[in-house]
Chains A and B, each alone.
Chain A
Amino acid sequence: MLTRMLAVFNARNREFWRDRSSLSWNLAFPFLLVFGFYFIFGQGMPMFKVGVISDQDAYITKPRFMSLNHVQFVPYEDLDVAVQRVRRHQIDLLMDLDERRYWVNEESRNGYMAERLLVSEDPDFQRRLVRGEPIRYVDWVLPGIIGMNIMFSSLFGVGYAIVRYRKNGVLKRLKATPLSAFEFVGAQILSRLLMVLVIAAILFFGSHWALATLMLGSYGPLVLTILLGALAMISLGLAVASRTRSEELTGGLLNMATWPMMGLSEVWFSLEGAPESVHRISDLLPLTHLVSAAREITTEGATLLEVSDHLLTLAGMSAVFLLIAAALFNWDSDHR
């Protein structure tokens, strides 16, 4: 029995070792994660993020609260923007050093704790409650979850499926018919767009009905955001799957595309206070623009014009990915 087990054990080890793409993925990916998060969050996550407004170049009369450890202070120049950040849970508290006042969102648990600390250190600061409907975490996170769902559904539902079709010969059989690559790919895109829209609608209205999640904007811009976001993701999936017939490699590449978006596109948490370079990377990811636009529409009532920068970026990304996919697409593979 031991001999047989040992034989299988050795064979499996050789298989793992000789499958270079899988091996490099298994080794590289954890390192990417470790170094990525180290880079994003430095050597430790702060307990609280507090916005600071001051006309002074340097904080000459620095409140005692600002000498506390494990609190990150993020400077703002525009009061309205900063208050909006408090409203959206992106920062826990906002301090105006010149006027000795602060803003807090009562719905924020972190805001409550940060406020206790501030009041105990600097009791002279005047309290300002953020006006308007408080945004719960569920309101804030729902666009992120819908965006993440669109990302997985679009990337894997189209990219991975095409590689599987290519590998098992479905694409070759279709190539032998008058069906053109454009018609085939177009049908895949439309089918997935429809599915994404239906699933997003179920998620959105289900949450709205069960949890009374916010919808301050209009449905038209939201639908357009979802469609453009899905199109960008599907196009990215098509570009990845344009030639290869290796499901393992495609799985690795798609994971490599999805994980940075999970971490850097503000799905679960705000990147407020992260280094500028992280924001620049985040801006290159389609999920960032999908989630940001959807979030601005649902939680801030943003209009089509106000989210147009995100939508134009998504449209541009879709065009670039589609061009790459069209240039590289092959029914069979590049090996024949």
Chain B
Amino acid sequence: MTDILTVHRLVKRFKSVTAVNDISFSVSPGQCFGLLGPNGAGKTTTIEMMEGISKPSSGEVRLFGEPADRRAYERIGIQFQNTALQDYLTVEETLKLFAAFYPVTLPREELIELCSLGDFLDRDTRRLSGGQRQRLLLALALINDPDLVFLDEPTTGLDPQSRRNFWELVQGIKRRGKTIVLTTHYMDEAQVLCDDIAIMDQGRIIERGSPEALLSRHFDGVMVHLPKSAAEGRTLPFEVLELDDRLEIQTGQVDRTVQQLTAAGIPLDGLQVKSPNLEDLFLKLTGHALRA
């Protein structure tokens, strides 16, 4: 099947700063592709080049198997990270305004239901809560019934409940067979929503694959965390990663590890067992945590 989006050797420079440094990847139809990384990694710059908002310094973006052009851009939907809407318009008037820009649109009732806008259709867009606002912006991204939807950090600044509500909406869009490109610095969001991810840091892609594949590639089993004070003055019988206030032991056999700790006379107070997640992966790959 033809890739719906292909990025080849993309570079973007701002004066002396290289924000995006020679990245390549492709996205298959129906996938939710996640572009992950901390603030400043180059995610938004990359997504804006894919959307046609800014021009690459070099490299190529292909949409629907062809070099990106005006017709292709009419088949995409975009939710920007930061955007304002025209003042003094209600939610419904804003939907009508944007619908007028496209030759083909989703029926308004369907869009309203899909993005749960029904309760605040008559409200001035300046008076919306963060979650309501993001739902409206999502509706605007879907208004032309796009084949490919770009969501740039759509849940940044939302409370946990609103984030989860938004995830449900995105999953609803996935069920309709849409291809989604999502940027986020929330690893839990990527783990829930994405089928395929690329991790970016300092303008480069440092790892690529499905969340499960990446975790199994880089982690063996689970992680056991111990407070640093518990092992003071003692030598542990396995490899240990020192974090801020705790020690991390990777193991495929938790029972045996606990037995070894007990045999070494190490108190088990404060011991935690957790499965590795993308946050741990990022830490392992870059040596620094994801910054919010």
Contact = CB atoms under 8 A, between A and B. Distances in A.
A170 B80 contact: no
Contact of B101 (A169, A170, A179): A179
B283 interface: no
A176 B84 contact: no
B98 A177 contact: yes
B145 interface: no
B83 A172 contact: yes
A60 to B, nearest CB: 69
B102 A173 contact: no
Contacts of A14: none
A27 to B, nearest CB: 30
B127 to A, nearest CB: 16
Contacts of B53: 172, 175-176, 332
B86 A170 contact: yes
Listed residue (B51, B84, B98) with the most chain A CB atoms within 10 angstroms of its CB: B84
B54 interface: yes
B238 interface: no
Report, nearest first, the 5 A-B pairs whose CB atoms are least far apart. A168-B84, A177-B101, A169-B83, A176-B78, A173-B83
Interface of B: 14, 51-54, 70, 73-74, 78, 80, 82-86, 98, 101-103, 140
A178 B77 CA distance: 11
Listed residue (B14, B51, B53, B102) with the most chain A CB atoms within 10 angstroms of its CB: B53
A73 B14 CA distance: 63
A64 interface: no
Interface residues of A, number: 13
A85 B85 CA distance: 52
A170 B84 contact: yes
A177 B85 CA distance: 14
Interface string A163-175: 0010011101101
Given A177-B98, A178-B101, A336-B14, A170 B83 contact: yes
B82 A169 contact: yes
Contacts of B78: 176
A170 B78 CA distance: 13
A170 B85 contact: yes
B162 to A, nearest CB: 21
B54 A336 contact: yes
Contact of A176 (B80, B86, B103): B80
Interface in A156-207: 165, 168-170, 172-173, 175-179
Given A176-B80, A178-B74, A336-B14, 13 more contacts: A165-B84, A169-B80, A169-B82, A169-B83, A172-B83, A173-B85, A175-B53, A176-B51, A176-B53, A177-B101, A177-B102, A332-B53, A332-B54
A286 B78 CA distance: 41
Given A170-B85, A336-B14, A178 B80 contact: no
Interface in A116-167: 165
29 contacts: A165-B84, A165-B86, A168-B84, A169-B80, A169-B83, A170-B84, A172-B53, A172-B80, A173-B80, A173-B83, A173-B84, A173-B140, A176-B51, A176-B52, A176-B53, A176-B73, A176-B78, A176-B80, A177-B98, A177-B102, A178-B70, A178-B73, A178-B74, A178-B101, A178-B102, A179-B101, A332-B53, A336-B14, A336-B54
A334 to B, nearest CB: 13
Contacts of A165: 84, 86
